[in-house]
Chains A and B, each alone.
Chain A
Amino acid sequence: MADVEKIYHNLKSRAIGLKSAAELLPNCAPERRGKVISLMRDAAKDIERLLTELEAGPRP
C-alpha cells in the first residue's frame, strides 16, 4: 500500500472510530465516559496530524 493510501486508510479508520464512539457516548456508563472522551480527543488529534501530512504530501 502506498504512503498516501495508508494516510487515507488511517484517516478513514480514525474518523469511523470517532463516529462510533460519538454514537456510544450518550449510553456510556459514567465511569467509562471520561476514558472514551479522552480516547476521542486522541483520535481527533490523530486526524489533525493525518490531514497535515496529506496537505504536505503529493496529491494521489
Chain B
Amino acid sequence: MELKVLDQPETSEAGGCSAGSCGGSDDQLSHLSDEIREKVHNHPCYSEEAHHHFARMHVAVAPACNIQCHYCNRKYDCANESRPGVVSELLTPDQAVKKTMAVAANIPQMTVLGIAGPGDPLANPERTFDTFRQLSEKAPDIKLYVSTNGLALPDAVEELSKHNIDHVTITINTVDPEIGAKIYPWIYWNNRRIKGVKGAKILIEQQQKGLQMLSDKDILVKVNSVMIPGVNDKHLEEVSRIVKQKGAFLHNVMPLIAEAEHGTFYGVMGQRGPTHDELQVLQDACAGDMNMMRHCRQCRADAVGLLGEDRGDEFTMDKIEEMNIDYDAAMVKRAEVHAAIAEELEAKKNAPQESLVTLSSIKKKDTRPVLMAVATSGGGVINQHFDHAKEFLIYEANTTDVRFISHRKVDDLYCAGGDTCGDGESVLQKIIKVLNGCEAVLCSKVGYEPWEMLEEAGIMPNGEHAMEPIEDAVAAVYKEMAESGALDEAKAEPKEQKELATA
C-alpha cells in the first residue's frame, strides 16, 4: 500500500513531525482556506485537537423520516447504545431550546448545537426551524447545524440561510441509483412511497441539487458516507470526487455499524461492516481528493458534551426544569471561556516546534510503516493508563511522517454481539482485538497482566513516554523499532491474534 502524506506540507523531512499536525491546533484543517478555517476553528467535530476543548450537543426534536435506510431501524431506542439515530427522549422545540441553553450555561465549552434526528430534521421542518429560530434569537453565541439525508434539502435551503447555521451535513452514500436501491428500500416523495431504483434516483438528484444550492449560498457543507463493503465501498472514491467538485469542504467516511440485534436490514441479513484496515485504505484513497475526517465518533442523535463522552444524563428534561438559567450572564462567561481556549490553542500553535526525535535521522530508509495505539485523555499528550482507556487513537509512523489515522472505541465491543459477545472473552482480550494491526501501544502506565497479554499478541506496550506529545513519542518509538531492525521484515502475523480471530 502506498502511503500518502496527508494534510501536511511537503517539508516534513525537517522534523519528527511537521507543523501541519504537531502541536498545531488543526491537523485536519490545514488544507482549508483561512476563511473556512475561521468559521470552523471551534467546532469540536472537525479536528482531533479542538474536540478536547470544545463540546457539541444534539437535540432530538425531529422524529419523522422521509426515507428508509438499510442501516437504520426506526424502532430502536436504547440508553446504552452509542450510534447515530438512537435517542432516548424526544423533545418539543421549546424543550430543546431550554435544554440547549441549560447545557450552554453549564458547559461553556459547548459551541455547536446540531439537529440530527432520530428522523430527518428537514422532514420535520416546523420543529427543526422553530428550534433554530428561537436559538438564533435567544442564544446567538451558539452555532447551529443540521444533518440530513438530503431529500427535502432543496426546499429548505432558503430557510436555512436565515439562521445562524455553521454547516449542513448531508449523508451521501452513492451517486448511482442502482447502488442506491441496495441502500434505500424506499422514499416518501410527492405523496407516494417510491421503492427501488426509482426512489433512489430521486433521492440522489435531491442530494446533489441541495449540495449545489448550499454551495451557491456559501453555506458550508460536510458530506457523510457510510462505508458498506460490497455495496458502495468501491464507489465512494467517486462520491468523494463529485461532492468536492460541488463544493463540500469535508468528507467523512464512516464504517457501517450492523449487528443482528439492532434489527436493521444489514444487521439481520449479515452484512458486515468494514475492518479498520479497509476503512483506512478507503479514507486514504478519498483523501487524495479532499479533506477527510478521521476522528468522527459516530455519536447518538441526543449526545451532549465533548466528543467521546456523553453527559446527556445530566440534562434530562426533569433536571432542566429545575435549573434557573440566566443566559445573559452565561454568555459573558462563555465568551471568556472561548477566548481562553483560543488563546491556549494559539499559544500552542506558536510554541517552538522543537522535536525530540528526527525521523529523517533514521538511517534505514526502507523500513515499513507501523500502526501504534495511544491512550490519551486529551491535550495532545500521552497521559492515560492503559486500563482506563475507553478509546485509543491510532497513529501511523513511517520514515518521514507521523499522522493521526483514527480512533477505536473499546466499549463498542461490549455491545457488539456476534462473535465477540457472550463467549467468555475477557475485557482484555476484547481490547487486544480492538488494537488489531497495531504493533505498539503507548500509554502512561500498563499493568502486569495486560503487559504480558499485549506482548503475546505482538503489540509492544510502552509506558516510557508518559506526558510527552503524542507525535514525538510515536516518532521516538518508530525510530527505536526501525533501528533495532524490527521493521526490516514484513510484519509477522501474531500467534495470539490468529487464535483470537479464529476462536
- Chain B binds chain A: no
Q: Which A residues are within 8 Å of any B CB, using their own CB?
A: none
